[in-house]
Structure 1
Amino acid sequence: MAFKIKGSHVLAIALAGGLGLWMMAGDVKIGGQSDNGESAVPIAEREAERSAEIFKVRHVPLMAQERQQSVLVRGRTRADAVVTVRAETAGVLEKRLVSKGQNVKKGDLVCVIERGAREASLAQAKAQLAQAETEYNANAQLKKKGFASQNRLTALRAALDAAKASVASAQLELERTEVRANAAGIVQDPIAEAGDMLSMGGTCVTLIDNDPMLFTGQVSERDIGRIATGMEAEVKLITGDTATGTIRYIAPSADAQTRTFAVEIEFEPGSGVRDGMTAEARIVLDAGKAFRVSPSWVTLADDGTIGIRIVKEDNTVAFVPVTILSQEKDGFWVTGPSEGDRVITLGQEYVVAGEKVETAPDERYAGKLAAAEGLQATGTAQ
C-alpha cells in the first residue's frame, strides 16, 4: 500500500528543520558566558546600576498657620435651680394666689391654708398669758410686803414664761398657713389646687429659677486640661439659635463610668434660653500655630509612627513624626514639622530616610502657596 504524505507531515518537517538551523547559528549562554566567548552583564550588576539612579520626588514647603482651636461639648440647658415651695403645716389649701407661668418674687404670698382652730388656739394662749401676768404681778407686790414666799413667785414666773411660749407657738402656727415663696422664679408644675389636703412638707407650687440659665455637659479627660473657669463659650441650641456664656464650674473629679467631667456654662442675662433643650457648646481656646497637610502626605514609619517624609537641604530624605490635632474634610492639622520643611507630596512611598533624591516643586499646589511669605503651602487635600 502506498504511503500518502499529508500536509501536517510537511509542516512538522519544516518546523523541525528551521529549529535545527536556529540552534546551530545561535549562541548558548551558560552562567553569563556565551559559547562564542562574549561575556554578558551579571544580573547583580544590572540591578546595582538600576538602584544607583536617583529617584525623583516633588515637594512643597510647609508654613505654620494660626489655628483657632475649640472644645465641643454636647449637653442640655437647665435652670439654675428648681425650687419647691412646701407647706410648713398641715391643712386644707384654701386658695392658691399664683398660676403657672407667673413670675414670683422671693417673699410673695403664693398659697393660703385654712386657718381652722389655729386662731382659737392663739386666742386661748393669749388669755392664759394675761392670767399668768396678772398672777405674777400680784404676787410680786405681796412678796415685797412679805405676804408671799419666793418659791411661790418663782413658780408663777415659770407659768408666765410658759404662757408666753404658748402664744409665740400659736402665732407661728397661724403664720404658717400663709405659704410664701422662698425664691424668685416662674411657677410651673407640680402645683396644688384649692381644696387639696396638704401635709407638712407637701408641695404648694414649684418655681423655676431661670436667672441665670445654664448649659451642662461632659468634657472628656483628654480635653479637661485645656479649659478653665471664666472662659467664654458659644452655645448652639437645637432650634438653631445661639447664645453666649461663661464657664462657671468644672467638676473636680471624673464620672467613674464615662471618665468625663461635668461642666456648667452660665448664660448672659436676658438670653431667653429655655430649660431642658438639647444644645452643644463650643469653648474657644487660644489660637496656636499648626500645619495643615493633605492625608496623602501622611505615612507610617516601620515601627508604626505617624509622620511625613521631607527633603533636607542636601536633598536627602528624612522622616518627621507628627501629632494629629484634628481631622477636617480637606486635611489634617498637625504639629511636629518645622517652618519651611519641604514635605514630599509625590513619591514619598518609594523612598526611605537617608536616601538621596532629585527634587522639584509640586506645581499642583502652586496656587495654594501663601503670598505673604512668597512660598507657603496650605496643604489642603485635593
Structure 2
Amino acid sequence: MKWISFVIAAIVSAVIYLFIMEREAVMRFAGHDGSATAAQPAEPAPRTALQDTATRKVSVVALSSQAQVIDSAVILRGRTEALRQVTVMAETSGAIVSEPLRKGNSVGAGQVLCKIDAGTRKASLSEAQARLASARAGLPLARARVAEADALLEEAAINNNAASKLIESGYASETRVAATRAAVSAAQATVESARSGLEAAMSTVEAASAAVALAEKEIERLTIRAPFAGLLETDTAELGALMQPGAACATVIQLDPIKLVGFVAETQVDRVVPGAPAQARLVNGTMIAGEVTFLSRSADPQTRTFRVEIAVPNAARAIRDGQTADIAIAAAGESAHLLPGSALTLDDGGRLGVRIAARGENGPVADFMPVTFLRDTPGGVFVSGLPGQVDVIVVGQEYVTEGVPLDVTWRQPETGE
C-alpha cells in the first residue's frame, strides 16, 4: 500500500504549488477578476512590533512627591552592655578565711571580697626585715673603712712627695723613695678593697630591701579587693576554699552608666559623631537617652560595620546588661521623599532607584533615577537623591524602561510618617 502514500503526497504538493506559485491563474479559473481587486484602495503595510512599541502608551500609576526635611537619625539595633566587668582573681595560694559575699550585693571600690590565710608569710616578712636591719648596720663600718683607706692613701702620697723632693736635694736615698712609692701602692689597694666592701654592703642592703618588699607584697595579695564600685555578678569564694594563682574570687560589674552597643554600616558611619545625642527603646518599651562616647575607626572584618558606644545614666540600675535595644542616633537633617516601599526598583546595573514620569515631547515618558535609602517607617520609606519635586511611578514601574511613553493615572502622595 506504499504507492497510495506517494499518490497522496503528490496531490498535496500539486495543490500547494497551485495556490502559492499560480495563485492568479487559479483565481481567474475560479471566476474572480483581478481588476476588481485592483480597483479597491490598497491596504496599508502591517506595522512592525518595534514601531508599535514606540507609539503605544503604557498605563502606570504615579504620585507627585514633594521633598521634606527630616531628622535623619541613624537607626541601629544593639544591646546594653556593662560599662566595666572583671573577674577578680587570686595572685597567691592559700585557704579562704573570710565569709562569702552573695551575688547581687553592691560593693564599693576597694572593698574586701576575699581573704586568704597568711600562713608563714608574716614570719618570712620578719626574717627579711631582720636581714635588712643587719645589712644596714654594716654600712657605717664599711664607710669607715673606706674613709680610713682614703686617709692612709693621702698620707702615703704626702710621704712619697716629700721623699721625691729630698732626693733631688741630696737629703734622701733612693731606698726611701722606693719605700714611699710602695706605701702609696699599698694604700691604693686598701682603698679599692674598702670601696668594694662598701659596695657589697650596699648590695646586701638592696637585696634585703627587695626581700622585705616581696614579703610585704605577698601579704598584700592575701586580701582581694573590688577594683571599682559595682555589683557582684557571682558569689565570692567560699570559706575554706583553696585558692591558687589565677583562681576566681568573684565577678564585679559596673552598670552606672551603662553602655549601648551597636554597629553602624559603612554607608552611614560618616553621619555619626562622638557626642551626638541618642535614644533607644528597650524590648520592654522603656525609653532611654544618652550620647555617643565611642566610634570605632576599624571595621569588623566579617560584617564591615563599625562599633559605636553610647553612655546612658543608670543610677537606679534598672537597665540590665545584655538587653536588646532599638537605637536612634541623631544626625543632621536632610531633604528626603516619603515613597511606598514597592516603588523602589533596580536598574540593569543593579543600582537602587525609582522610575519617574519625565516630560517628553509628546507627553510623559519613563525614566530612572538612583536613590539612597534612609530609613523605613510605617507610612513608607524615606529616600534621598531626588529633586525637590518629582513624579514617581508606584504601579507598573517594572514594565517600563527609559523613554517609553506613559499613560499616567495620579495617586495622592503619602503624608506623615
- Normalised by the size of structure 2, how large is the TM-score? 0.63
Preserved contact between residue 356 and residue 390 of structure 2 (Cα < 8 Å): no
Taking the TM superposition and a 5 Å limit, the aligned residue runs for 1:1-382 are 37-39=39-41, 42=44, 61-96=64-99, 98-134=101-137, 136-137=139-140, 150=194, 154=198, 155-189=200-234, 191-270=236-315, 272-294=318-340, 306-310=353-357, 312=359, 316-322=363-369, 323=371, 325=373, 330-342=379-391, 362=410, 365=412, 377-378=413-414
SS of the residue corresponding to residue 96 of structure 2 reads: strand
* Shift in alpha-carbon separation, 1:134–1:330, aligned structure 2, 3 A: closer
Structure 1 residue 111 displacement after superposition:
1.8
| Whole-Å separation in 1 of the counterparts to 2:101 and 2:260 | 28
| Whole-Å separation in 2 of the counterparts to 1:286 and 1:141 | 79
Preserved contact between residue 105 and residue 185 of structure 1 (Cα < 8 Å): yes
* Shift in alpha-carbon separation, 1:162–1:68, aligned structure 2, 3 A: closer
SS of the residue corresponding to residue 62 of structure 1 reads: strand
| Whole-Å separation in 2 of the counterparts to 1:200 and 1:300 | 62
* Shift in alpha-carbon separation, 1:76–1:29, aligned structure 2, 3 A: farther
| Whole-Å separation in 2 of the counterparts to 1:128 and 1:304 | 82
Moved more, 345-354 or 173-182: 345-354
Structure 1 residue 281 displacement after superposition:
1.6
* CA root-mean-square deviation: 4.5
Preserved contact between residue 101 and residue 235 of structure 2 (Cα < 8 Å): no
Preserved contact between residue 256 and residue 314 of structure 2 (Cα < 8 Å): yes
* Shift in alpha-carbon separation, 1:150–1:339, aligned structure 2, 3 A: closer
SS of the residue corresponding to residue 270 of structure 2 reads: helix
Equivalent residue letter for 1:265: I
Identify unmatched segments of 5+ residues in structure 1. 1-27, 366-376
Preserved contact between residue 116 and residue 223 of structure 2 (Cα < 8 Å): yes
SS of the residue corresponding to residue 281 of structure 1 reads: strand
| Whole-Å separation in 2 of the counterparts to 1:236 and 1:316 | 49
Preserved contact between residue 312 and residue 342 of structure 1 (Cα < 8 Å): no
* Shift in alpha-carbon separation, 1:94–1:280, aligned structure 2, 3 A: same
Encode CA deviations 1:154-183: one digit per residue, 9 max, x unaligned: 355544444444333323322222222222
| Whole-Å separation in 2 of the counterparts to 1:333 and 1:288 | 11
Encode CA deviations 1:82-122: one digit per residue, 9 max, x unaligned: 12222232211111464322222222222211111112222
Encode CA deviations 1:31-81: one digit per residue, 9 max, x unaligned: 9x8559454764659x99xx9999999875432122333333223211122
Q: Could you say which structure has the larger radius of gyration?
A: 2
* Shift in alpha-carbon separation, 1:320–1:69, aligned structure 2, 3 A: farther
Structure 1 residue 274 displacement after superposition:
0.8
Identify unmatched segments of 5+ residues in structure 2. 1-30, 150-189
SS of the residue corresponding to residue 194 of structure 1 reads: coil
Larger RCO (CA within 8 A; separation ≥ 6)? 2
The match for 2:176 is none
* Shift in alpha-carbon separation, 1:292–1:174, aligned structure 2, 3 A: closer
Give the share of equivalent positions with the same residue, in percent: 31
Structure (1 or 2) with the greater helix fraction: 2
* Shift in alpha-carbon separation, 1:321–1:169, aligned structure 2, 3 A: same
Encode CA deviations 1:265-320: one digit per residue, 9 max, x unaligned: 22235373211222232223322222234567678889887533435397622434
| Whole-Å separation in 2 of the counterparts to 1:70 and 1:259 | 20
| Whole-Å separation in 2 of the counterparts to 1:142 and 1:56 | 115
Preserved contact between residue 316 and residue 355 of structure 1 (Cα < 8 Å): no
Equivalent residue letter for 2:215: A
* Shift in alpha-carbon separation, 1:183–1:30, aligned structure 2, 3 A: farther
